A and B are shown apart, each in its own frame.
Chain A
């Protein structure tokens, strides 16, 4: 039995016509029209803040549109809540999973649904149904497993099962690949294909071009809340899409190889505990030379964050040493490390990197406000600070009305430029850049990448930690792959394929893959 009863009333076509959604002071969707048909993948492409998620949240009943219509098979619909949307056959897989870790897969799926024999639970029936669905769609899931035991990829499968179980015919996937390894992405794509064959319509929200081009049948591009256009995926090029997304051409970077200098940042045997009390770093050895970018790749949660924090001085290590130009900085404080020539771009920009309510100027001097050239005794020298702020705003092309604007009014990309300005203007010998372009638009990303390469040319040793494998592969001279708190392998630029790096991210060392390949 592979065709469950509740899939008989399949939606053939969902249309959103002239959708207008306003937030105070912002027009998030301006007369946007899209349509999704059964059996196709529609990719919704656009930069952060383009209005993709807002549009889909209206389809899922999380927001009510201020104007326009939602039609399902030609019938106008009004969704007051996600419950209405689910009842109509719409499902959504959120970027952050909505699962209860302490419950089993079956319990999670049953959560919020009426049992067939109220008031008792009918978990056996649910489990059986999950297995049917799993088989029908090729989703490997154990209904009895606890969610906390599952990998991120498996949890995502549970979310998909949850949507299917509720009879979703049209499924929205909000940036589903952001948390997956390349292999898991491949598995997901196989599942998605299977789903379209079964007659589901899928909306795939993303800003990763190559994925969008790989999976979708049609690509719709949003920019500034407006529909720029929709193209069949066949025959469209990366440059076309970028142009539609950004509104201008963006040339890919091709960094020239450089003569690297001596070892600048030396990490050996570094161990540290994670927030959950387990050992997050289990002996990390890594050397970064002057004029070199070393990229750290890995599935998130394998110790990259802790590594960055240890290097920054925000987390105590339990063993091992860190050396900066031969000087042992293992025990040094943040300020001492800064004085020794190390800069740090933190992963959580708005939490660690900047203060929302502070002005551009105050944020620019967050770390250096006590420097002698900007103070008279305990008093801040505002005139000098303001002059320097004007310089920096210009130099780093930060788009801000002025130095006294609170940064909560700036875009993510401009805030990141501000943090870059603060960290780079110190002319650091070593730079730790954690997720420098996460959530940043293409224009600003391009700019940040150029700055990092410039810094490399100036002789800085750069440790680039990123979940964006493309970014790592473009910028890094060497790629170190982290797995379960260790560096599982280091490859030079061009030495390994994406697949090989992906396998390393999943814990399989390069030698093994190569041995298999040759065998």
Chain B
């Protein structure tokens, strides 16, 4: 028996623990590294990095409004991220969340305005469902194209974003335009205010924090159960990890790929719905705030795990709010904020790679330990 491997196999429980701790800490280390480089950039701009970063922290934790704002931003990130997560588990890369958010917002707006006379207890849930279906439809198109014609989903989802954007521009200047703006002659490109019965309840008065945040957390748990405890989730994960073996096991691989993109669209659609129903109370330009893209990053940050996404999206929401506050506090160009966020993304993705290598090394060690146990 090789003497070198003895200590390793004996201390395997400790190794397991260290392994877990390391992997949990990795995103934070990545963020720290990004902030360090950001500090250098700030120093070049003759800004004290400590002041700048202090502004981030106080921006988020210094006031009730800052803190709740981070949760408000985390909500759509979490919803989008859940969809990204489902798609990614089936090995589908969904870049189309922006468009799917728009469709969800459009769906929620059109539905709630069309049936504004319905009682709230029925209008509110049906509005959410309508937004889910609208987003899902937008995800289904690339899913179907992938399943039937092997169209690359990255390209088709990106293109669907452009279509969604123009569709919204058309509708909020046409059929959905706020008649008040037309009468006033301003022709603002925004919809009429949604009926109050579909407004999501504010959890803390004087803040924007709404019940959508709770809904998102509940859905994260639902998605977790869906992916790991149901037959459909089992197949989605199998398809994502090994389409050949899944096909051999009798799974209709293209159908599950399409399903994953459809569900991803649905969740992004819900993100659009909570924005109109919880924050703006109407549909207006720029409704997505780029959540469709930052949601992808949040999903990666959360290890593409629904439960990991909950803290990850909050962290990202905080970063968005804090960066905004920092920009105002130390007067740096907004491009720097994007740079900082970009650095975080870069380091997080990089750390995912390190984490994989770490896991691979652990796996070899475990199999070696297993073989020793056999012997």
Which residues of A approach B to under 8 Å, CB–CB? 22-27, 30, 224-225, 312, 314, 333-335, 338, 344, 346, 348, 351-358, 362, 366-367, 369-370, 375, 378-380, 382, 399-401, 406, 408-411
Contacts and interface: CB of A to CB of B under 8 A. Distances in A.
Chain B interface category by residue count: 35 or more
Given A338-B250, A352-B245, A355-B245, A24 B370 contact: no
A116 to B, nearest CB: 45
B363 A408 contact: yes
Nearest to A363: B245
Given A25-B364, A352-B244, A409-B367, A378 B2 contact: no
Given A23-B364, A25-B5, A378 B241 contact: no
A367 B249 contact: yes
B289 interface: no
B363 to A, nearest CB: 5
Given A334-B248, A366-B249, A380 B363 contact: no
B368 interface: yes
Given A351-B244, A351-B245, A355-B242, A26 B368 contact: yes
Given A338-B250, A380-B229, A356 B241 contact: yes
B78 interface: no
Contacts, number: 101
Closest 7 CB pairs of A and B: A25-B365, A27-B2, A25-B364, A335-B250, A334-B250, A24-B361, A352-B248
B370 A401 contact: yes
Contacts of A353: 245, 248
B363 A30 contact: no
B238 interface: yes
A497 B366 CA distance: 46
B231 A314 contact: no
Contact of B238 (A224, A355, A400): A355
Interface of B: 2, 4-5, 8, 229-232, 234-235, 237-238, 241-242, 244-250, 360-368, 370-371, 373-375
B368 A406 contact: no
A431 to B, nearest CB: 15
A492 to B, nearest CB: 32
A427 B322 CA distance: 62
A409 B373 CA distance: 13
B231 A367 contact: no
A399 B374 contact: yes
A355 B2 CA distance: 30
Contacts of A358: 237-238, 241
Nearest to B238: A355
Contacts of B230: 378-380
A271 B71 CA distance: 62
A225 B248 contact: no
B109 to A, nearest CB: 32
B25 to A, nearest CB: 21
Contact of A355 (B5, B231, B241, B366): B241
Given A24-B364, A25-B361, 6 more contacts: A25-B367, A354-B245, A355-B238, A356-B242, A370-B231, A400-B370
Contacts of A314: 247-248
Nearest to B237: A358
A261 B309 CA distance: 58
A348 B245 CA distance: 9
Nearest to A313: B250
A24 B242 CA distance: 26
B245 A410 contact: no
